[in-house]
Structure 1
Amino acid sequence: MPNRTTGTILVTGATGTIGRAVVDQLVRRGADVRALVRDPAKAALPAGVAVVPGDLLDVESLRRAFAGASTLFLLNAVAADEVTQALIALNVAQEAGIRRVVYLSVIHSDVYVNVPHFAGKFGVERMIEAMGFEATILRPAYFMSNEHTIKDVVLQHGIYPMPIGAKGLAMVDERDLAEVAALALLRRAQAEGPIPCERINVVGPETLTGEAVARIWSEVLGRPVAYGGDDTVGFERTLQAFMPGWMAYDMRLMAERFLTDGMVPEPGDVARLTALLGRPLRTYRDRAAAIAAA
Protein backbone atom coordinates (compact mmCIF):
# COMPACT_ATOMS: atom_id res chain seq x y z
CA MET A 1 0.00 0.00 0.00
CA PRO A 2 1.45 3.41 -0.89
CA ASN A 3 2.44 5.72 1.93
CA ARG A 4 -0.17 8.47 2.02
CA THR A 5 0.61 9.60 5.54
CA THR A 6 1.56 13.15 6.30
CA GLY A 7 4.71 13.11 8.37
CA THR A 8 5.95 10.69 10.98
CA ILE A 9 3.81 8.75 13.44
CA LEU A 10 5.54 8.42 16.83
CA VAL A 11 4.60 5.38 18.93
CA THR A 12 5.35 5.23 22.66
CA GLY A 13 5.31 1.91 24.50
CA ALA A 14 6.39 0.42 21.19
CA THR A 15 7.91 -2.82 22.49
CA GLY A 16 4.98 -3.92 24.65
CA THR A 17 2.18 -6.25 23.55
CA ILE A 18 -0.09 -3.48 22.27
CA GLY A 19 2.54 -1.02 21.06
CA ARG A 20 4.41 -3.64 19.05
CA ALA A 21 1.18 -4.73 17.36
CA VAL A 22 0.34 -1.10 16.53
CA VAL A 23 3.78 -0.64 14.96
CA ASP A 24 3.29 -3.80 12.90
CA GLN A 25 -0.11 -2.59 11.66
CA LEU A 26 1.29 0.82 10.70
CA VAL A 27 4.29 -0.66 8.89
CA ARG A 28 1.99 -3.01 6.99
CA ARG A 29 0.09 0.05 5.76
CA GLY A 30 3.18 1.91 4.61
CA ALA A 31 3.39 4.49 7.39
CA ASP A 32 6.52 6.37 8.42
CA VAL A 33 6.92 5.09 11.99
CA ARG A 34 9.20 6.23 14.79
CA ALA A 35 9.29 4.18 18.00
CA LEU A 36 10.25 5.44 21.46
CA VAL A 37 11.97 2.59 23.33
CA ARG A 38 14.06 2.29 26.47
CA ASP A 39 16.66 -0.06 24.94
CA PRO A 40 17.04 0.06 21.13
CA ALA A 41 19.31 -3.01 21.23
CA LYS A 42 16.42 -5.12 22.45
CA ALA A 43 13.62 -3.51 20.41
CA ALA A 44 13.56 -5.99 17.48
CA LEU A 45 11.01 -3.89 15.58
CA PRO A 46 10.32 -4.23 11.84
CA ALA A 47 12.80 -2.93 9.30
CA GLY A 48 12.20 0.69 8.41
CA VAL A 49 11.01 1.72 11.87
CA ALA A 50 13.13 4.54 13.27
CA VAL A 51 14.00 3.50 16.82
CA VAL A 52 14.72 6.33 19.25
CA PRO A 53 15.98 5.76 22.82
CA GLY A 54 13.98 7.49 25.51
CA ASP A 55 11.71 7.38 28.50
CA LEU A 56 8.48 9.20 29.30
CA LEU A 57 10.13 10.80 32.35
CA ASP A 58 13.25 11.88 30.43
CA VAL A 59 12.22 15.22 28.96
CA GLU A 60 15.29 15.70 26.76
CA SER A 61 14.85 12.25 25.21
CA LEU A 62 11.22 13.09 24.48
CA ARG A 63 12.21 16.35 22.83
CA ARG A 64 14.56 14.45 20.54
CA ALA A 65 11.99 11.76 19.78
CA PHE A 66 9.07 14.13 19.16
CA ALA A 67 10.97 16.56 16.92
CA GLY A 68 9.48 16.52 13.43
CA ALA A 69 6.71 14.02 14.19
CA SER A 70 3.17 14.88 13.13
CA THR A 71 1.06 12.34 15.03
CA LEU A 72 1.46 10.68 18.43
CA PHE A 73 0.29 7.31 19.73
CA LEU A 74 0.42 7.75 23.49
CA LEU A 75 0.57 4.50 25.42
CA ASN A 76 1.97 4.35 28.92
CA ALA A 77 1.72 1.33 31.16
CA VAL A 78 0.15 1.19 34.61
CA ALA A 79 2.65 2.90 36.92
CA ALA A 80 2.56 4.90 40.13
CA ASP A 81 3.50 8.02 38.13
CA GLU A 82 1.38 7.22 35.06
CA VAL A 83 -0.35 10.62 35.00
CA THR A 84 2.96 12.48 35.30
CA GLN A 85 4.37 10.45 32.42
CA ALA A 86 1.38 11.21 30.21
CA LEU A 87 1.24 14.92 30.98
CA ILE A 88 4.97 15.39 30.38
CA ALA A 89 4.58 13.63 27.03
CA LEU A 90 1.60 15.81 26.09
CA ASN A 91 3.39 19.03 27.01
CA VAL A 92 6.51 18.06 25.06
CA ALA A 93 4.32 17.03 22.11
CA GLN A 94 2.67 20.44 22.21
CA GLU A 95 6.08 22.13 22.29
CA ALA A 96 7.06 20.08 19.23
CA GLY A 97 3.97 21.21 17.33
CA ILE A 98 2.22 17.83 17.39
CA ARG A 99 -1.54 18.38 17.29
CA ARG A 100 -2.80 14.89 16.39
CA VAL A 101 -2.96 12.26 19.12
CA VAL A 102 -4.37 8.78 19.64
CA TYR A 103 -4.43 7.97 23.34
CA LEU A 104 -4.85 4.50 24.84
CA SER A 105 -7.21 4.92 27.78
CA VAL A 106 -9.59 2.30 29.19
CA ILE A 107 -13.32 1.64 28.99
CA HIS A 108 -15.39 3.16 31.82
CA SER A 109 -12.50 5.39 32.90
CA ASP A 110 -15.17 7.84 34.05
CA VAL A 111 -17.07 5.14 35.98
CA TYR A 112 -14.31 3.28 37.85
CA VAL A 113 -13.53 6.55 39.65
CA ASN A 114 -11.87 4.95 42.70
CA VAL A 115 -9.48 2.76 40.69
CA PRO A 116 -6.15 4.61 40.41
CA HIS A 117 -5.15 3.69 36.86
CA PHE A 118 -8.68 4.25 35.53
CA ALA A 119 -9.06 7.62 37.24
CA GLY A 120 -5.60 8.59 36.03
CA LYS A 121 -6.44 7.80 32.43
CA PHE A 122 -9.69 9.77 32.69
CA GLY A 123 -7.69 12.75 33.95
CA VAL A 124 -5.36 12.44 30.97
CA GLU A 125 -8.37 12.29 28.62
CA ARG A 126 -9.59 15.59 30.03
CA MET A 127 -6.15 17.18 29.72
CA ILE A 128 -5.93 16.10 26.07
CA GLU A 129 -9.19 17.91 25.38
CA ALA A 130 -8.35 20.96 27.50
CA MET A 131 -4.97 21.35 25.79
CA GLY A 132 -6.66 21.47 22.40
CA PHE A 133 -5.28 18.33 20.78
CA GLU A 134 -7.10 16.73 17.86
CA ALA A 135 -7.50 13.34 19.48
CA THR A 136 -8.96 9.89 19.24
CA ILE A 137 -9.31 8.40 22.71
CA LEU A 138 -9.43 4.62 22.59
CA ARG A 139 -11.21 2.98 25.52
CA PRO A 140 -10.49 -0.76 25.37
CA ALA A 141 -12.05 -3.36 27.61
CA TYR A 142 -10.09 -6.13 29.36
CA PHE A 143 -7.38 -7.62 27.12
CA MET A 144 -7.64 -11.28 26.13
CA SER A 145 -3.84 -11.40 26.24
CA ASN A 146 -4.09 -11.17 30.04
CA GLU A 147 -5.35 -14.76 29.99
CA HIS A 148 -1.84 -16.01 29.25
CA THR A 149 -0.94 -15.12 32.85
CA ILE A 150 -3.54 -17.51 34.28
CA LYS A 151 -3.43 -20.29 31.69
CA ASP A 152 -1.49 -22.69 33.93
CA VAL A 153 -4.19 -22.51 36.60
CA VAL A 154 -6.86 -23.26 34.00
CA LEU A 155 -4.95 -26.03 32.23
CA GLN A 156 -3.45 -27.75 35.27
CA HIS A 157 -6.10 -27.21 37.95
CA GLY A 158 -9.36 -26.77 36.04
CA ILE A 159 -10.12 -23.39 37.66
CA TYR A 160 -10.67 -20.06 35.94
CA PRO A 161 -9.23 -17.81 38.66
CA MET A 162 -9.96 -14.24 37.53
CA PRO A 163 -12.74 -12.69 39.67
CA ILE A 164 -14.65 -11.12 36.80
CA GLY A 165 -18.14 -11.61 38.20
CA ALA A 166 -21.62 -11.84 36.71
CA LYS A 167 -22.00 -8.44 35.02
CA GLY A 168 -19.65 -9.47 32.22
CA LEU A 169 -16.56 -8.17 30.44
CA ALA A 170 -16.47 -7.47 26.69
CA MET A 171 -12.92 -8.83 26.42
CA VAL A 172 -10.99 -7.56 23.40
CA ASP A 173 -8.27 -9.25 21.39
CA GLU A 174 -5.20 -7.00 21.43
CA ARG A 175 -4.73 -7.53 17.68
CA ASP A 176 -8.14 -5.99 17.04
CA LEU A 177 -7.24 -3.09 19.34
CA ALA A 178 -3.95 -2.54 17.51
CA GLU A 179 -5.68 -2.44 14.15
CA VAL A 180 -8.27 0.05 15.40
CA ALA A 181 -5.43 2.19 16.78
CA ALA A 182 -3.48 2.07 13.52
CA LEU A 183 -6.54 3.06 11.50
CA ALA A 184 -7.23 5.96 13.86
CA LEU A 185 -3.61 7.14 13.60
CA LEU A 186 -3.63 6.95 9.81
CA ARG A 187 -6.97 8.75 9.58
CA ARG A 188 -5.56 11.63 11.60
CA ALA A 189 -2.15 11.61 9.92
CA GLN A 190 -3.72 11.72 6.45
CA ALA A 191 -6.39 14.32 7.23
CA GLU A 192 -6.07 17.60 5.35
CA GLY A 193 -7.67 19.50 8.23
CA PRO A 194 -8.68 19.05 11.88
CA ILE A 195 -10.87 16.12 12.87
CA PRO A 196 -13.01 16.60 15.99
CA CYS A 197 -12.07 14.70 19.14
CA GLU A 198 -13.70 11.30 19.51
CA ARG A 199 -13.90 8.40 21.95
CA ILE A 200 -14.09 4.82 20.75
CA ASN A 201 -14.93 1.89 23.03
CA VAL A 202 -12.84 -1.05 21.79
CA VAL A 203 -14.56 -4.27 22.83
CA GLY A 204 -14.91 -7.90 21.87
CA PRO A 205 -17.98 -9.46 20.23
CA GLU A 206 -19.35 -10.95 23.48
CA THR A 207 -19.79 -9.81 27.06
CA LEU A 208 -18.66 -12.77 29.15
CA THR A 209 -19.25 -13.55 32.82
CA GLY A 210 -16.94 -15.67 34.96
CA GLU A 211 -19.26 -18.66 34.59
CA ALA A 212 -19.46 -18.17 30.81
CA VAL A 213 -15.67 -18.06 30.49
CA ALA A 214 -15.36 -21.26 32.53
CA ARG A 215 -17.89 -22.95 30.21
CA ILE A 216 -15.88 -21.93 27.16
CA TRP A 217 -12.73 -23.42 28.68
CA SER A 218 -14.64 -26.61 29.55
CA GLU A 219 -15.78 -26.97 25.95
CA VAL A 220 -12.35 -26.16 24.50
CA LEU A 221 -10.53 -28.60 26.79
CA GLY A 222 -13.21 -31.29 26.84
CA ARG A 223 -13.12 -31.46 30.65
CA PRO A 224 -14.69 -29.46 33.48
CA VAL A 225 -13.33 -26.03 34.31
CA ALA A 226 -14.95 -24.18 37.22
CA TYR A 227 -15.19 -20.46 37.88
CA GLY A 228 -13.08 -19.66 40.94
CA GLY A 229 -15.51 -17.09 42.31
CA ASP A 230 -15.49 -13.43 43.28
CA ASP A 231 -12.81 -13.35 45.98
CA THR A 232 -11.09 -10.04 45.30
CA VAL A 233 -9.19 -10.13 48.61
CA GLY A 234 -7.59 -13.44 47.64
CA PHE A 235 -6.92 -12.03 44.19
CA GLU A 236 -4.96 -9.14 45.71
CA ARG A 237 -3.02 -11.53 47.93
CA THR A 238 -2.06 -13.69 44.93
CA LEU A 239 -0.91 -10.67 42.92
CA GLN A 240 1.30 -9.43 45.76
CA ALA A 241 3.66 -12.32 45.04
CA PHE A 242 4.77 -10.84 41.71
CA MET A 243 3.93 -7.11 41.65
CA PRO A 244 4.23 -4.13 44.02
CA GLY A 245 1.62 -3.91 46.74
CA TRP A 246 0.13 -0.67 45.39
CA MET A 247 -0.41 -2.30 42.00
CA ALA A 248 -1.96 -5.44 43.48
CA TYR A 249 -4.38 -3.21 45.41
CA ASP A 250 -5.15 -1.24 42.23
CA MET A 251 -5.97 -4.52 40.48
CA ARG A 252 -8.19 -5.60 43.38
CA LEU A 253 -10.12 -2.32 43.18
CA MET A 254 -10.54 -2.90 39.44
CA ALA A 255 -11.84 -6.42 40.04
CA GLU A 256 -14.35 -5.08 42.56
CA ARG A 257 -15.70 -2.78 39.84
CA PHE A 258 -15.88 -5.79 37.51
CA LEU A 259 -18.30 -7.25 40.07
CA THR A 260 -20.42 -4.13 40.51
CA ASP A 261 -20.31 -2.61 37.02
CA GLY A 262 -18.73 -5.02 34.55
CA MET A 263 -17.19 -3.84 31.29
CA VAL A 264 -20.27 -3.60 29.13
CA PRO A 265 -20.29 -2.04 25.65
CA GLU A 266 -22.58 0.77 24.69
CA PRO A 267 -25.21 0.09 22.01
CA GLY A 268 -23.60 0.04 18.58
CA ASP A 269 -20.00 -0.49 19.76
CA VAL A 270 -19.62 -3.97 18.28
CA ALA A 271 -21.26 -3.01 14.98
CA ARG A 272 -19.08 0.10 14.70
CA LEU A 273 -15.86 -1.86 15.21
CA THR A 274 -16.94 -4.64 12.86
CA ALA A 275 -17.64 -2.07 10.13
CA LEU A 276 -14.35 -0.26 10.79
CA LEU A 277 -12.30 -3.47 10.50
CA GLY A 278 -14.41 -4.96 7.71
CA ARG A 279 -14.52 -8.34 9.45
CA PRO A 280 -15.86 -10.00 12.61
CA LEU A 281 -14.11 -9.28 15.89
CA ARG A 282 -11.93 -12.07 17.27
CA THR A 283 -13.62 -14.25 19.88
CA TYR A 284 -12.58 -15.42 23.33
CA ARG A 285 -13.19 -19.01 22.28
CA ASP A 286 -10.58 -18.69 19.54
CA ARG A 287 -8.06 -17.29 22.04
CA ALA A 288 -8.77 -20.07 24.52
CA ALA A 289 -8.35 -22.69 21.77
CA ALA A 290 -5.02 -21.14 20.73
CA ILE A 291 -3.76 -21.18 24.32
CA ALA A 292 -4.83 -24.80 24.74
CA ALA A 293 -3.18 -25.82 21.45
CA ALA A 294 0.08 -24.15 22.40
Structure 2
Amino acid sequence: MTILVTGATGRVGRHVVDQLVKRGASVRVLTRDPSKAQFPAGVDVVQGDLLDIDTLRAAFDGVSTLFLLNAVTGDEFTQAIITLNVAREAGVERVVYLSVIHADRFVNVPHFAVKFGAERMLEQMGFSATILRPSYFIDNEHTIKDVVLNHGVYPMPIGSKGIAMVDARDIAEVAAIELIRRDQAPATLPVETINLVGPDTLTGSDVAAIWSDVLGRPVAYGGDDLAGFEQNMASFMPKWMAYEMRLMAERFVSEGMIPEAGDVERLTNLLGRPLHSYRGFATEITTAA
Protein backbone atom coordinates (compact mmCIF):
# COMPACT_ATOMS: atom_id res chain seq x y z
CA MET A 1 0.00 0.00 0.00
CA THR A 2 0.95 3.67 -0.30
CA ILE A 3 2.19 6.11 2.33
CA LEU A 4 1.02 9.71 1.88
CA VAL A 5 3.47 12.40 3.00
CA THR A 6 2.35 15.97 3.64
CA GLY A 7 4.83 18.80 4.11
CA ALA A 8 7.09 16.86 1.77
CA THR A 9 9.17 19.80 0.51
CA GLY A 10 10.20 21.13 3.93
CA ARG A 11 13.24 20.48 6.08
CA VAL A 12 11.77 17.32 7.61
CA GLY A 13 9.40 16.14 4.90
CA ARG A 14 11.96 15.85 2.12
CA HIS A 15 14.12 13.65 4.35
CA VAL A 16 11.07 11.53 5.23
CA VAL A 17 10.41 10.92 1.54
CA ASP A 18 14.05 9.97 0.94
CA GLN A 19 14.08 7.60 3.91
CA LEU A 20 10.85 5.91 2.82
CA VAL A 21 12.07 5.44 -0.76
CA LYS A 22 15.37 4.08 0.58
CA ARG A 23 13.36 1.51 2.51
CA GLY A 24 11.36 0.45 -0.55
CA ALA A 25 8.04 2.05 0.40
CA SER A 26 5.43 3.22 -2.10
CA VAL A 27 5.26 6.98 -1.53
CA ARG A 28 2.82 9.70 -2.56
CA VAL A 29 3.33 13.38 -1.73
CA LEU A 30 0.87 16.25 -1.63
CA THR A 31 2.39 19.58 -2.66
CA ARG A 32 1.10 22.95 -3.80
CA ASP A 33 3.63 23.33 -6.63
CA PRO A 34 5.06 20.11 -8.10
CA SER A 35 7.29 22.11 -10.45
CA LYS A 36 9.33 23.31 -7.46
CA ALA A 37 9.61 19.87 -5.88
CA GLN A 38 12.39 17.40 -6.57
CA PHE A 39 11.58 13.89 -5.43
CA PRO A 40 13.24 10.52 -6.08
CA ALA A 41 12.08 8.50 -9.06
CA GLY A 42 8.89 6.58 -8.45
CA VAL A 43 7.35 9.04 -5.99
CA ASP A 44 3.74 9.83 -6.91
CA VAL A 45 3.12 13.60 -6.79
CA VAL A 46 -0.35 15.08 -6.25
CA GLN A 47 -0.87 18.83 -6.60
CA GLY A 48 -3.02 20.42 -3.91
CA ASP A 49 -3.06 21.43 -0.27
CA LEU A 50 -4.70 20.43 3.00
CA LEU A 51 -7.61 22.85 2.60
CA ASP A 52 -8.49 21.74 -0.93
CA ILE A 53 -11.01 19.00 -0.19
CA ASP A 54 -11.20 17.60 -3.73
CA THR A 55 -7.45 17.16 -4.17
CA LEU A 56 -7.10 15.95 -0.60
CA ARG A 57 -9.65 13.22 -1.22
CA ALA A 58 -7.88 12.27 -4.44
CA ALA A 59 -4.54 12.15 -2.61
CA PHE A 60 -5.93 9.60 -0.13
CA ASP A 61 -7.13 7.21 -2.84
CA GLY A 62 -5.30 3.92 -2.32
CA VAL A 63 -3.36 5.22 0.70
CA SER A 64 -2.81 3.03 3.75
CA THR A 65 -0.77 5.29 6.06
CA LEU A 66 -0.39 9.05 6.54
CA PHE A 67 2.53 11.23 7.59
CA LEU A 68 0.93 14.46 8.79
CA LEU A 69 3.12 17.54 9.05
CA ASN A 70 1.55 20.99 9.27
CA ALA A 71 3.52 24.19 8.85
CA VAL A 72 3.08 26.94 11.45
CA THR A 73 0.32 29.00 9.85
CA GLY A 74 -2.76 30.84 11.04
CA ASP A 75 -4.99 27.98 9.88
CA GLU A 76 -2.78 25.10 11.05
CA PHE A 77 -5.46 23.59 13.29
CA THR A 78 -8.07 23.68 10.55
CA GLN A 79 -5.65 21.91 8.22
CA ALA A 80 -5.01 19.18 10.78
CA ILE A 81 -8.68 18.63 11.61
CA ILE A 82 -9.76 18.48 7.96
CA THR A 83 -6.91 16.17 6.96
CA LEU A 84 -7.64 13.71 9.74
CA ASN A 85 -11.36 13.74 8.94
CA VAL A 86 -10.70 13.08 5.25
CA ALA A 87 -8.24 10.35 6.22
CA ARG A 88 -10.90 8.67 8.34
CA GLU A 89 -13.42 9.08 5.51
CA ALA A 90 -10.97 7.31 3.18
CA GLY A 91 -10.48 4.46 5.65
CA VAL A 92 -6.93 5.47 6.61
CA GLU A 93 -6.33 4.68 10.28
CA ARG A 94 -2.52 4.52 10.46
CA VAL A 95 -0.85 7.88 11.08
CA VAL A 96 2.49 9.31 12.11
CA TYR A 97 1.95 12.87 13.30
CA LEU A 98 4.68 15.48 13.78
CA SER A 99 3.78 17.32 16.97
CA VAL A 100 6.18 19.16 19.31
CA ILE A 101 7.76 18.36 22.66
CA HIS A 102 5.82 19.68 25.68
CA ALA A 103 2.73 20.24 23.52
CA ASP A 104 0.63 19.44 26.58
CA ARG A 105 2.45 22.00 28.75
CA PHE A 106 3.29 24.99 26.54
CA VAL A 107 -0.39 25.52 25.71
CA ASN A 108 -0.16 29.33 25.62
CA VAL A 109 2.01 29.02 22.48
CA PRO A 110 -0.41 28.74 19.54
CA HIS A 111 1.32 26.07 17.47
CA PHE A 112 1.94 23.96 20.59
CA ALA A 113 -1.75 24.19 21.52
CA VAL A 114 -2.73 23.29 17.95
CA LYS A 115 -0.56 20.20 17.99
CA PHE A 116 -1.87 19.11 21.37
CA GLY A 117 -5.39 19.45 19.98
CA ALA A 118 -4.49 17.26 17.01
CA GLU A 119 -2.92 14.71 19.36
CA ARG A 120 -6.19 14.48 21.30
CA MET A 121 -8.12 14.11 18.05
CA LEU A 122 -5.90 11.19 17.01
CA GLU A 123 -6.52 9.49 20.34
CA GLN A 124 -10.25 10.15 20.59
CA MET A 125 -11.00 9.18 16.97
CA GLY A 126 -9.26 5.84 17.41
CA PHE A 127 -6.38 6.28 14.96
CA SER A 128 -3.43 3.91 15.12
CA ALA A 129 -0.90 6.68 15.57
CA THR A 130 2.67 7.43 16.48
CA ILE A 131 2.94 10.97 17.82
CA LEU A 132 6.41 12.39 17.31
CA ARG A 133 7.31 15.24 19.64
CA PRO A 134 10.51 16.95 18.43
CA SER A 135 12.42 19.52 20.40
CA TYR A 136 13.69 22.73 18.79
CA PHE A 137 15.26 21.97 15.40
CA ILE A 138 19.01 22.35 15.05
CA ASP A 139 18.26 23.22 11.42
CA ASN A 140 16.56 26.45 12.56
CA GLU A 141 20.05 27.72 13.34
CA HIS A 142 20.73 28.27 9.65
CA THR A 143 18.77 31.53 10.05
CA ILE A 144 21.26 32.92 12.60
CA LYS A 145 24.55 31.50 11.33
CA ASP A 146 25.60 34.79 9.71
CA VAL A 147 25.19 36.61 13.02
CA VAL A 148 27.39 34.02 14.71
CA LEU A 149 30.01 33.92 11.98
CA ASN A 150 30.18 37.64 11.21
CA HIS A 151 29.43 39.27 14.57
CA GLY A 152 30.52 36.73 17.16
CA VAL A 153 27.15 36.59 18.90
CA TYR A 154 24.76 33.69 19.39
CA PRO A 155 21.45 35.60 19.26
CA MET A 156 18.73 33.03 20.07
CA PRO A 157 17.27 33.62 23.55
CA ILE A 158 17.18 29.99 24.64
CA GLY A 159 17.98 30.68 28.28
CA SER A 160 19.79 28.74 30.99
CA LYS A 161 17.47 25.77 31.57
CA GLY A 162 18.68 23.84 28.53
CA ILE A 163 17.31 22.64 25.18
CA ALA A 164 18.04 19.26 23.59
CA MET A 165 18.03 20.47 19.97
CA VAL A 166 17.29 17.77 17.39
CA ASP A 167 18.48 17.35 13.81
CA ALA A 168 15.84 17.14 11.05
CA ARG A 169 17.58 14.05 9.66
CA ASP A 170 17.03 12.21 12.92
CA ILE A 171 13.38 13.31 13.03
CA ALA A 172 12.82 12.08 9.48
CA GLU A 173 14.48 8.72 9.95
CA VAL A 174 12.44 7.97 13.08
CA ALA A 175 9.32 9.06 11.18
CA ALA A 176 10.12 6.69 8.31
CA ILE A 177 10.78 3.80 10.68
CA GLU A 178 7.46 4.39 12.42
CA LEU A 179 5.54 4.84 9.16
CA ILE A 180 6.77 1.52 7.82
CA ARG A 181 6.21 -0.23 11.17
CA ARG A 182 2.60 0.91 11.26
CA ASP A 183 2.02 0.38 7.55
CA GLN A 184 3.26 -3.21 7.68
CA ALA A 185 1.68 -4.20 10.99
CA PRO A 186 -0.87 -7.02 10.55
CA ALA A 187 -3.26 -5.22 12.91
CA THR A 188 -3.68 -1.70 14.22
CA LEU A 189 -1.23 -0.67 16.92
CA PRO A 190 -1.92 1.43 20.01
CA VAL A 191 -1.14 5.15 20.10
CA GLU A 192 2.47 5.80 21.06
CA THR A 193 4.34 9.04 21.75
CA ILE A 194 8.07 9.47 21.09
CA ASN A 195 10.08 12.50 22.18
CA LEU A 196 12.63 13.47 19.52
CA VAL A 197 15.65 15.13 21.08
CA GLY A 198 19.34 15.67 20.51
CA PRO A 199 22.14 14.00 22.46
CA ASP A 200 23.00 17.11 24.51
CA THR A 201 20.87 19.50 26.56
CA LEU A 202 22.45 22.92 25.96
CA THR A 203 21.98 26.40 27.41
CA GLY A 204 22.56 29.62 25.50
CA SER A 205 26.02 29.90 27.07
CA ASP A 206 26.76 26.26 26.16
CA VAL A 207 25.91 26.89 22.50
CA ALA A 208 28.05 30.05 22.42
CA ALA A 209 30.93 28.03 23.90
CA ILE A 210 30.56 25.38 21.18
CA TRP A 211 30.73 28.05 18.49
CA SER A 212 33.76 29.63 20.19
CA ASP A 213 35.54 26.29 20.24
CA VAL A 214 34.65 25.37 16.66
CA LEU A 215 35.53 28.81 15.24
CA GLY A 216 38.61 29.31 17.40
CA ARG A 217 37.48 32.79 18.46
CA PRO A 218 35.08 34.17 21.07
CA VAL A 219 31.33 33.96 20.51
CA ALA A 220 29.11 35.54 23.16
CA TYR A 221 25.60 34.59 24.17
CA GLY A 222 23.27 37.46 23.32
CA GLY A 223 21.10 36.99 26.41
CA ASP A 224 17.39 36.68 27.02
CA ASP A 225 16.02 39.94 25.60
CA LEU A 226 12.62 38.63 24.53
CA ALA A 227 11.18 42.01 23.55
CA GLY A 228 14.16 42.61 21.28
CA PHE A 229 13.81 39.09 19.87
CA GLU A 230 10.14 39.73 18.97
CA GLN A 231 11.04 43.06 17.37
CA ASN A 232 13.75 41.45 15.26
CA MET A 233 11.46 38.58 14.17
CA ALA A 234 8.77 41.10 13.17
CA SER A 235 11.19 42.66 10.68
CA PHE A 236 10.93 39.64 8.37
CA MET A 237 7.79 37.71 9.38
CA PRO A 238 4.16 38.60 10.19
CA LYS A 239 3.78 40.27 13.58
CA TRP A 240 1.45 37.55 14.87
CA MET A 241 4.13 34.96 14.10
CA ALA A 242 6.88 37.08 15.69
CA TYR A 243 4.76 37.30 18.84
CA GLU A 244 4.23 33.55 18.76
CA MET A 245 8.00 33.02 18.50
CA ARG A 246 8.41 35.26 21.54
CA LEU A 247 5.90 33.20 23.49
CA MET A 248 7.86 30.07 22.60
CA ALA A 249 11.16 31.68 23.61
CA GLU A 250 9.62 32.67 26.95
CA ARG A 251 9.00 28.99 27.63
CA PHE A 252 12.57 28.17 26.57
CA VAL A 253 13.80 30.63 29.19
CA SER A 254 11.39 29.61 31.94
CA GLU A 255 11.41 25.82 31.43
CA GLY A 256 13.73 24.76 28.61
CA MET A 257 13.16 21.71 26.42
CA ILE A 258 14.56 18.91 28.51
CA PRO A 259 14.30 15.22 27.56
CA GLU A 260 12.68 12.67 29.78
CA ALA A 261 14.77 9.86 31.24
CA GLY A 262 15.63 7.34 28.55
CA ASP A 263 14.71 9.50 25.53
CA VAL A 264 18.24 9.67 24.08
CA GLU A 265 18.87 5.95 24.62
CA ARG A 266 15.53 5.04 23.04
CA LEU A 267 16.28 7.05 19.91
CA THR A 268 19.84 5.76 19.65
CA ASN A 269 18.59 2.19 19.85
CA LEU A 270 15.81 2.86 17.33
CA LEU A 271 18.19 4.39 14.80
CA GLY A 272 21.09 2.05 15.50
CA ARG A 273 23.52 4.97 15.50
CA PRO A 274 24.40 8.10 17.51
CA LEU A 275 22.16 11.15 17.21
CA HIS A 276 23.41 14.18 15.27
CA SER A 277 24.86 16.75 17.68
CA TYR A 278 24.88 20.54 17.79
CA ARG A 279 28.67 20.49 17.70
CA GLY A 280 28.50 18.46 14.50
CA PHE A 281 26.14 21.05 12.99
CA ALA A 282 28.43 23.94 13.97
CA THR A 283 31.41 22.10 12.50
CA GLU A 284 29.56 21.50 9.21
CA ILE A 285 28.61 25.19 8.99
CA THR A 286 32.14 26.35 9.76
CA THR A 287 33.69 23.97 7.24
CA ALA A 288 31.30 25.13 4.52
CA ALA A 289 31.79 28.85 5.26
C-alpha displacement at 1:194, in angstroms?
1.2
- Alignment equivalent of 1:262, drawn from 243, 256, 265: 256
C-alpha displacement at 1:67, in angstroms?
1.1
1:169-188 maps to which residues of 2 (within 5 A)?
Answer: 169-188=163-182
Aligned residue in 1 for 2:124: 130
Q: In structure 2, what is the Cα distance between the partners aligned to 1:186 and 1:82?
A: 26
Aligned residues: 288
Q: Which runs of 5+ in 1 are unaligned?
A: 1-6
- After superposition, the C-alpha distances for 1:92-119 in whole angstroms (9 at most, x for unaligned) are 0001000000000000001111000101
Q: In structure 2, what is the Cα distance between the partners aligned to 1:162 and 1:111?
A: 22
Aligned residue in 2 for 1:3: none
Indicate whether 1:196 and 2:190 are aligned. Answer: yes
- Alignment equivalent of 1:242, drawn from 236, 240, 245: 236
Indicate whether 1:8 and 2:2 are aligned. Answer: yes
Comparing 155-164 and 33-42, the one that deviates more: 33-42
Q: In structure 2, what is the Cα distance between the partners aligned to 1:42 and 1:105?
A: 26
- After superposition, the C-alpha distances for 1:174-201 in whole angstroms (9 at most, x for unaligned) are 1011000000000000100111100000
C-alpha displacement at 1:136, in angstroms?
0.2
C-alpha displacement at 1:55, in angstroms?
0.5
- After superposition, the C-alpha distances for 1:34-70 in whole angstroms (9 at most, x for unaligned) are 0001011111111110000010111111000011100
Indicate whether 1:32 and 2:32 are aligned. Answer: no
Aligned residue in 2 for 1:48: 42
Paired letter, 1:209: T
Q: In structure 1, what is the Cα distance between the partners aligned to 2:230 and 2:50?
A: 28
1:133-152 maps to which residues of 2 (within 5 A)?
Answer: 133-152=127-146
Aligned residue in 1 for 2:55: 61
C-alpha displacement at 1:293, in angstroms?
1.2
TM-score calculated relative to the size of structure 1:
0.97
Indicate whether 1:213 and 2:207 are aligned. Answer: yes
Indicate whether 1:228 and 2:222 are aligned. Answer: yes
Aligned residue in 2 for 1:121: 115
Aligned residue in 1 for 2:71: 77
How many percent identity over aligned positions?
71
Q: In structure 1, what is the Cα distance between the partners aligned to 2:186 and 2:35?
A: 36
Where in structure 1 do 4 or more consecutive aligned residues deviate above 6 Å? none
Aligned residue in 2 for 1:158: 152
Q: In structure 1, what is the Cα distance between the partners aligned to 2:205 and 2:256?
A: 14
Q: In structure 2, what is the Cα distance between the partners aligned to 1:176 and 1:112?
A: 23
- After superposition, the C-alpha distances for 1:80-103 in whole angstroms (9 at most, x for unaligned) are 110000000000000100000000
User: Which SS does the other structure have where 2:113 is aligned?
Assistant: helix
Aligned residue in 2 for 1:4: none
Paired letter, 1:99: E
Q: In structure 1, what is the Cα distance between the partners aligned to 2:31 and 2:128?
A: 24
- After superposition, the C-alpha distances for 1:231-267 in whole angstroms (9 at most, x for unaligned) are 1110000000111010000000000000111000000
Report the aligned-residue RMSD: 0.5
TM-score calculated relative to the size of structure 2:
0.99
